[in-house]
Amino acid sequence: MKNQKILVALAGQPNCGKSTVFNALSGASQHVANYPGVTVDKMTGGYRYNGYRVELVDLPGTYSLSSYSPEERVSRDFILHEKPSVTVNVMDASNLKRCLYLTFQLLEMEIPVVLNLNMMDVVEKRGMTIDMEKLSGRLGVPVVPTTMKNGEGKKELKDVIDVVAATNKKIEPLHIDYQEMEPVLREIVDRLATEATLSVQYPLRWLAIKLMEGDEAVQGMIGEQHPQADAFTAMVEQGRTNFEKEFGNAPEVHIATCRYKAADTISRACLQLPKGAQRQLSDKVDDIVCHRLFGPAFLVGIIWLLYYLAIVQGYNITNYTWPLLAKLRSLTEAVTPEPGFIDIPLIREFSLWIVDSVNALLNYIPIFFILFALIAILEDSGYMPRMAFIMDRLFSRYGLHGQSTLPMVLGGIYVGGCAVPGVMSCKGIPDERSRLATILIIPLLNCLAKVPLYVLLINIYFAAHKAWAMFFISTISLLMVLPVAKILTLTVLKDKETAPFVMEMPPYHLPTWRGVLSRAVERVWLFMRKISTIVVAVAVVVFVLLQFPGIGKERMDYYQARKDKAIATFHKKIKGTPFHEGLQGDRLMAMMLYWEAYKDARMGAGGQDGVAVVNADFKARDALFFKIVRPGKDKVAKKVGREFKKLVKKRKGLLREMRKERIDKSFLGAAGRWLEPVTQWAGFNWRVNVALLSALAAKESSVATLGALYEQEEEGEALEERMARGEADLTPLHALALMLFMVLYPPCMATTMAVKVQSGSVKWMLFSIGYPMFLGLSVASLVFTMGSIFELSGLQAMFAFYLLALGFTIFMGLIKNQPEYIKLT
Amino acid sequence: MTLDQLKPGSEGRIKKLSVRDKLGQRLMDMGVYPGLKLKVLRNAPLEDPMEVELDGYFVSLRHDEARFVEVE
């Protein structure tokens, strides 16, 4: 039997420390995948033991093994069809009675089970004692106590798994006495025993119990595999009806009650509680954390802290990490072919574009790291269910869920979130309809990348009312998101599965450093791996769309002529100086690069000493050039320097004009013009269209593209001034429409990927791109066209739209939409 | 009387579950079954949902869901 693989499944209820056990057993070798057809994570890992290769599968945490939730279906199917050699039932030892409810269901499946009583430290702290031998004897399976948080009992657990897997004998587990139901169960078992295929594949008593429970998945199995399915199903139905008539209780209620009573009996026999059990500490804490007034205040405090630590402090850290990324850029500059006077090699431009795109993403790592660590703390501490408890009333009115709170906070419920972690944290929402609704609306919240455009437009067009405009844009997204979520749940999502809210409020825990940090690192890594390839791919596409077909030959000749003229003028001016000879031919371009390099080096050099070092270095590189850069008292050199500066400026101007012309003539430019007839109702001209299109890759690009399109005339002129001058006919109303469009802008590529992963379908990913465009254009057109008709000022239109959105939000909140599991009854 | 009508601080014993299928099963899986004593601890700041203690175990549920739990 050596050198074989054994399959081990971990099953357990939520909050029992199952993932700690999984991490402790499998160490670093973990792998995440999806179960086919559902968005439930399948965690696999493994370890070597005694010559065996043990493959571990961490089944999703479930309270029960019915077939009402995807997690339960997945767990059950795995056990039934993959037939693991051992199923380890992890349980919270301090909550023995509750956990046994699941244990009984595992035992009924007649599979080899090892009971793992985890969190023994809590048991000891509370002064409880558990008789392991008695428990093992009663249940008929081995019991291993552990405190996996500290690694205690890890070896023992591995030993027992090994023994159970090796003996491979059919276990004789405890049978729960279902009392009045036993005769019916026996009858079903007898009838099933005559069916060859079914009786080989599944434990019959388990089938009988499931049928009496009315389990739809098992009924379906019978329907497919039983030769006289209809007659048999009718027989079972009759049995269920008779039972309810005779004993006054639905069969499934009777079954659950019997399980709890059996759990109670066993727990009473094996568990000793300390005398005079106290009120639990968690309950006392909840008096404050869930208090009518302090609760929401505490929640706001937590959200503020999350923003402050992740966004504000995270941004501060990027000040230190950015220079590293800038080094990556200069390295790229150094290894790619040098630029000419006006012709920049395509490979150079392309490489820098890619590096810039990747850097923009890498720059977020500190923010993401802090954010993910804080989420892990919230998750481990047990505060998340409290958050859901406080917010559920508000969100459930809009088709969302109490557990939508954290995703929305991360997405930027005020200003400055990020949709990627927001969408990623939607995983925990148990209700599929609410989960999809949350995933779809997160991108409409105000993420960090939308802010530069807001700031730009507010500074130009709402300069006198900055505070109001900022308040408007920060809160309007929530007023659009809530009704949109409700509309989605009433329309495209109306047939999606819903789940009851009923939720455990687990006791509070102190998170451990190791748990928090390892999860933060793991999630950042996962995110980077998934996203970086996409970012590169999209960057390539946008680069092509912005660069090609490029400037025509005729125009190129024109720029060439201007370049020659500029150089000729320069040479004429410096003729007769000792420098003239040294700046001929290639030497002129070399001087140009030297000039730029010197400027960069001076910027980077700190203090007097640094400058001295830079000077010495550059002097050594080329003494003649250095004279021009630092003429000192040399009058001739000063004059040449002045002239050279003019030439540098002319070159910059030429490059800018060419860049603008290239974008004008590019595919994206053409698309921008092509869209103008539609976007004119929203007040967008083609230049704005191009900026918006280029933002599809990453929203930060919108401001950069606008910057390129509104060329600079004076050195140091801010984009604000350039835009105001270049678009004298743009009004605050235009700006308002543009900002509202930006709020409703489709998700960036990274978010799109996250949407695909979390929704588990390409269809929803495409929908998440399509509907915001439509919505954004509609809202922008409504505001711009109505505003124009009624001759409203930007501020008036802003106020009017705000009231409209507020009214609509309240109205949508009043529409009743009960989930189907309540409507049915 | 049904669970949603109980005020915070009051106690009761579960008499019957008058809902089946998804919600009924979920309630049972979370520890709600006939014969068990329970105590309403608190309502959320916006009144809904409510938090209930069941045998040393804490569960929150919406009032809409609690009205299917008959108590005495």
Query: Average pLDDT in the A587-607 region?
Result: 80
Distance CA A114, CA A127 (A): 25
Query: If you measure CA to CA, which chain A residue comes closest to B67?
Result: A822
The verdict on a CB contact (< 8 Å) between B20 and A402 is: no
Listed by number, the residues of chain A in 429-448 with a beta carbon closer than 8 Å to a beta carbon of chain B are none
Pairing outcome for strands A52-58 and A30-34:
unpaired
Query: Average pLDDT in the A484-490 region?
Result: 95
B-chain residues near A253 (CB < 8 A): 17, 24, 28, 33-34
- In this complex, is the C-beta atom of A825 within 8 Å of any C-beta atom belonging to chain B? yes
Query: Average pLDDT in the A372-397 region?
Result: 91
* Mean pLDDT computed over every residue of chain A: 86
Question: Which of the given ranges, A109-113, A570-574, A716-720, has the highest pLDDT on average?
Answer: A109-113
Q: Say if residues A443 and A747 touch (Cβ distance below 8 Å).
A: yes
The verdict on a CB contact (< 8 Å) between A825 and B30 is: no
CA A504 and chain centroid, separation: 24
Q: How open is the CA angle A355-A357-A450, to the nearest 5 degrees?
A: 155
DSSP state of A366: H
Which helix (DSSP H) or strand (DSSP E) does residue A641 occupy? helix A635-665
- In this complex, is the C-beta atom of B63 within 8 Å of any C-beta atom belonging to chain A? no
- In this complex, is the C-beta atom of A283 within 8 Å of any C-beta atom belonging to chain B? yes
Pairing outcome for strands A86-92 and B69-71:
unpaired
- In this complex, is the C-beta atom of B9 within 8 Å of any C-beta atom belonging to chain A? no
Q: Which of A74-83, A139-148, A720-729 has the lowest mean pLDDT?
A: A720-729
HEC sequence for A67-82 = CCCHHHHHHHHHHHHH
The verdict on a CB contact (< 8 Å) between B41 and A286 is: yes
CA distance B56 to chain A (A): 8
Distance CA A460, CA A466 (A): 10
The shares of helix, strand and coil residues in chain A, as percent rounded to the nearest 5, are: 70, 5, 25
Residue A185 has pLDDT above 80, yes or no: yes
Among A394, A504, A821, beta carbon nearest to B22: A821
**pLDDT for the residue numbered A631:** 78
Going by C-alpha positions, the residue among A711, A701, A719, A732 that lies closest to residue A458 is A732
Among A98, A252, A822, beta carbon nearest to B25: A252
Close Cβ partners of A417 (under 8 Å, ≥ 6 residues apart): A307, A311, A409, A410, A411, A445, A446, A447, A448
Query: Average pLDDT in the A318-332 region?
Result: 87
The residue written with tokens 């505001």 in the block is: A783
Query: Average pLDDT in the A479-498 region?
Result: 93
Distance CA A106, CA A112 (A): 9
Tokens (6 digits) for A251: 């069969």
Query: If you measure CA to CA, which chain A residue comes closest to B33?
Result: A257
Cite the DSSP H helix spans in A666-731: 667-679, 686-694, 701-709, 719-726
Give the pLDDT band of residue B71 (cuts 50, 70, 90).
Answer: very high
What are φ and ψ of residue A545, in 5° steps?
-65, -30
Q: Which of A198-212, A221-235, A608-622, B12-26 has the lowest mean pLDDT?
A: A608-622
Percent of chain A with pLDDT over 90: 35
**Helix axes A701-709 and A686-694, enclosed angle (nearest 10):** 140
CA distance A503 to chain B (A): 5
CA distances from B22 to A99, A346, A553, A619, B28 (A): 20, 61, 70, 80, 10
- Tally C-beta pairs within 8 A across A and B: 131
- In this complex, is the C-beta atom of A284 within 8 Å of any C-beta atom belonging to chain B? no
Give the pLDDT band of residue A714 (cuts 50, 70, 90).
Answer: very low
Query: Average pLDDT in the A560-586 region?
Result: 81
Query: Average pLDDT in the A551-579 region?
Result: 83
CA distances from A275 to A129, A280, A725, A786 (A): 12, 14, 81, 73
Q: Say if residues A40 and A34 touch (Cβ distance below 8 Å).
A: yes
The verdict on a CB contact (< 8 Å) between A502 and B61 is: yes
Give the pLDDT band of residue A712 (cuts 50, 70, 90).
Answer: very low
Q: Say if residues A739 and A473 touch (Cβ distance below 8 Å).
A: yes
Close Cβ partners of A753 (under 8 Å, ≥ 6 residues apart): A530, A531, A534
Among B21, B36, B46, beta carbon nearest to A821: B21
**In whole angstroms, how large is the CA radius of gyration of chain B?**
11
A-chain residues near B48 (CB < 8 A): 392-393
DSSP state of B2: B
- Beta-bridged to residue A371, according to DSSP, are none
Q: Residue A735 in 3-state DSSP?
A: helix
CA distance A248 to chain B (A): 10
**Residue A444 identity (one-letter amino acid):** L
Q: Which residue has the higher pLDDT, A50 or B14?
A: B14
A-chain residues near B34 (CB < 8 A): 249, 253, 257
Q: Residue A278 in 3-state DSSP?
A: coil
Close Cβ partners of A610 (under 8 Å, ≥ 6 residues apart): none
Tokens (6 digits) for A46: 């493994």
**pLDDT for the residue numbered A278:** 64
Among B35, B46, B55, beta carbon nearest to A393: B46
CB neighbours (10 Å) of residue A715? 7
Q: Residue A683 in 3-state DSSP?
A: coil
Q: Describe the strand order of the beta sheet including A30-34 as a list of residue ranges.
A: A30-34, A41-49, A52-58, A5-12, A86-92, A113-118, A143-145
**pLDDT for the residue numbered A174:** 79
The residue written with tokens 């269910």 in the block is: A385
Residue A110 has pLDDT above 60, yes or no: yes
Cite the DSSP H helix spans in A548-622: 553-574, 586-604, 607-621
Close Cβ partners of A316 (under 8 Å, ≥ 6 residues apart): none
Listed by number, the residues of chain A in 482-501 with a beta carbon closer than 8 Å to a beta carbon of chain B are 499-501
Residue A574 has pLDDT above 60, yes or no: yes
Distance CA A682, CA A780 (A): 5
Q: Which residue has the higher pLDDT, A11 or A615?
A: A11
HEC sequence for B23-64 = HHHHHHHCCCCCCCEEEEEEECCCCCCEEEEECCEEEEECHH
Pairing outcome for strands B50-54 and A503-504:
unpaired
Listed by number, the residues of chain B in 16-35 with a beta carbon closer than 8 Å to a beta carbon of chain A are 17-31, 33-35
**pLDDT for the residue numbered A729:** 65
Residue A99 has pLDDT above 60, yes or no: yes
Give the pLDDT band of residue A101 (cuts 50, 70, 90).
Answer: very high
B-chain residues near A257 (CB < 8 A): 33-35
**pLDDT for the residue numbered A524:** 85
HEC sequence for A41-101 = EEEEEEEEECCEEEEEEECCCCCCCCCCCHHHHHHHHHHHHHCCCEEEEEEEHHHHHHHHH
Among A256, A506, A822, beta carbon nearest to B33: A256
Query: Average pLDDT in the A510-522 region?
Result: 85
- In this complex, is the C-beta atom of B7 within 8 Å of any C-beta atom belonging to chain A? no
B-chain residues near A180 (CB < 8 A): none
Query: Average pLDDT in the A387-407 region?
Result: 93
Query: Average pLDDT in the A786-792 region?
Result: 92
Pairing outcome for strands A86-92 and A113-118:
parallel
Per-residue model confidence as pLDDT tens digits over A202-218: 889 999 999 999 998 99
Return the residue in A63, A287, A389, A392 with the most chain B beta carbons within 10 A, the one to mutate for interface testing.
Answer: A389
The verdict on a CB contact (< 8 Å) between B49 and A392 is: yes
Question: Exposure pattern of A38-76 as b/e (b: 16+ CB <10 Å)?
Answer: bbbebbbbbbebeebebbbbbbbbbbbbbbbbbbbbbbb
The verdict on a CB contact (< 8 Å) between A68 and B65 is: no
- In this complex, is the C-beta atom of B1 within 8 Å of any C-beta atom belonging to chain A? no
Q: Which residue has the higher pLDDT, A781 or A173?
A: A781
Residue A597 has pLDDT above 50, yes or no: yes
Give the pLDDT band of residue A510 (cuts 50, 70, 90).
Answer: confident
Query: Average pLDDT in the A733-751 region?
Result: 89
- In this complex, is the C-beta atom of B70 within 8 Å of any C-beta atom belonging to chain A? no
Domains and CATH numbers, chain B: 3-71 (2.30.30.90)
Tokens (6 digits) for A456: 């730009």
**pLDDT for the residue numbered A277:** 60
**pLDDT for the residue numbered A187:** 92
Distance CA A412, CA A410 (A): 5
A-chain residues near B26 (CB < 8 A): 68, 499-500, 502
Interface ipTM: 0.96
Distance CA A30, CA A24 (A): 11
**pLDDT for the residue numbered A1:** 46
The residue written with tokens 């006495």 in the block is: A177
